[in-house]
Amino acid sequence: MNIVVQKFGGTSVASQELRDKIADKIIETKLSGKKPVVVVSAIGRKGDSYATDTLINFANSIFSERCSRELDLIMSCGEIISSVIMANTIKSKGYDAVAMTGFQAGIITDENFGNACVKRVDPKNIIENLKEDKIVVVTGFQGITENGDITTLGRGGSDTTAVILGEALKADVVEIYTDVDGVMTADPRLVPDANVIDCLSYDEVYQMATDGAKVIHPKAVEIAERSNITLKIKNTFTDSDGTTIKKSEYTFSNICSKTLFTAIAYKNDIVQVNIEIDSDDEKNKLLLDGLEKNKISIDMINFFEERKVFTIEEKDLTILKSILDFYNLKYKLTTNCSKVTAIGHRIHGVPGVMAKIVKILSNENIKILQTSDSNTTISCLITRDNLEKAVRALHYELLNK
C-alpha cells in the first residue's frame, strides 16, 4: 500500500503553529502518493499542561503511593489528547483523518505496567481506514493487555510504537522526526562543529542510543533490525535529508577506507561501585539476586576474584546502598561520573585504538576511572567535570583529523 509511518515527538507538536507545519508535511507525503500513518507523543515537555511528566505529578500530588495500573491510565491521556488535536488539525486543512488509541490500532501488550512489551499487533483497523483514504493518527507510547487494561511502553515508547506499526503494516520506511537534522557525530551542544551522519547501520545507532544519544530509543532499533525496516531520522522544521538507518552494507574494502569512528556519545549521572567480596562468598549470589529483583541495571562490569566493580545510574543509588548495607558489604562509591563512548563499526581488536583514546584523554589531564568495550564501542568512565573537555577532544582527534 506504499505506507510510510511518521513519528513526531512532544516538542514537534507543542504549539498550534508547529502542528500546522507538521500537518502540511503529512499532507505533502500523502500528495506524493504515499499513505501516511502518523504516531504522536504527548504535547510538550515537563511543565507543559499535557506533558506526561505533568500528568504523573498530578496523580502523585493526590496519592504518593505508586499504583502502576492507574498511573499508566493517566499517562496514556497525553498521547490521546495529542492524537485528537493532530487529527483535527489535518481535517481543518481539508483532508480526512482519524485518531486512534493504541488499543484501536491493535497493539496488544503484556501486563508489565510502565514498561510493557508488545506481544502482537493487529493492524486491520488502520488498514481499513487507509483504504478509505484517511490519514491515521495513532497515540504513541501505549497499548492494551488481553484483559483490557491500558499499558505504556516505557521510555522512548512512541519510537517503539512507530517501528512496531511499521513492522505490522510492512511500511516502506519509518520516519522519526525530531528537532535536529539527523543523527550527529556528537552532541552539538558540546561540539558546535558536529556533523550530521548520512547513513548508519543498526548496530551503530543502537550503540549510540544505548550510550546516551537521544535521537531514537534502542528498543525501536532492535525491532527495525529484526524486520529490516529502513529508518530515517529527520528534522521536523527543515527539509534536510536526515540520517538513514538500515542493514550494514559494509564490505572488507570499504571498512578499510571508511573512517574508523562514527560518533562520540555520553551518559551522565553515573556511579561507580567498587565492592570487596570474594567470588565464593554466598553474599555474592545474594547481591546479584538483589540487583535483579530491584531491576538495577549494571554496566561497565569488571568482576575479579576478591572485588566487583561496575556502574549504575544515579537514580538507583539509594536502593543499591540499602542492599549493600543489608549484607554488611564493604564498598566504595564514586559519584558524579560520566561515561563517554567512541563508536565505530568493528573497532574491537584493531591495534592501537584503545591506546589512542587513552592518550587523547591523558593529554587533556583527564583521569580514566574504568573502561569497557564491544565490537563497536570503547567506553571510558570519567568524572562529570571533565565531560565536555573529553567529548570535544575525542571528537576532534578521532573524527575531524
**Per the annotation, where are the binding residues for substrate?**
52, 79
Q: Where are the alpha helices (DSSP H) in 170-238?
A: 202-210, 218-227
CA–CA dist 161, 82 (Å, integer):
15
* pLDDT band, very low/low/confident/very high, at 64 (cuts 50, 70, 90): low
Per-residue pLDDT reduced to its tens digit, 100-116? 999 999 999 999 999 99
Choose from 52-66, 82-96, 187-201 the range with maximum mean pLDDT. 82-96
Per-residue pLDDT reduced to its tens digit, 354-386? 999 999 999 999 999 999 988 889 999 999 999
Q: Where are the alpha helices (DSSP H) in 195-329?
A: 202-210, 218-227, 252-257, 282-293, 317-326
**Per the annotation, where are the binding residues?**
7-10, 52, 79, 178-179, 189, 214-215
Q: Which of 129, 97, 103, 104 is nearest to 116 (CA)?
A: 103
Q: Going from the N-terminus, what domains does the chain have, and what CATH number goes with each?
A: 3-252 (3.40.1160.10), 263-400 (3.30.2130.10)
> Which segments within 124-242 are labelled E, that is strand?
135-139, 142-144, 150-152, 173-178, 199-201, 231-235
State the DSSP code for 398.
I
**Per the annotation, where are the binding residues for ATP?**
7-10, 178-179, 189, 214-215
Residues 79/141, Cβ–Cβ less than 8 Å: yes
The confidence score (pLDDT) of residue 296 equals 95
The confidence score (pLDDT) of residue 254 equals 42
CA–CA dist 220, 161 (Å, integer):
8
Count Cβ atoms within 10 A of the Cβ of residue 245 and give its class: 0-12 exposed, 13-18 middle, 19 or more buried.
Answer: buried
The confidence score (pLDDT) of residue 367 equals 97
Residues 228/173, Cβ–Cβ less than 8 Å: no
Q: Which of 96, 35, 97, 105 is nearest to 76 (CA)?
A: 105
**Mean pLDDT of the 276-305 span:** 91
- Which residues, listed in sequence order, are joined to residue 38 by a DSSP beta bridge? 6, 137
Q: Which of 160, 168, 141 is nearest to 152 (CA)?
A: 141
Q: Looking up cell 543502537, which residue turns up?
A: 206
Count Cβ atoms within 10 A of the Cβ of residue 351 and give its class: 0-12 exposed, 13-18 middle, 19 or more buried.
Answer: exposed
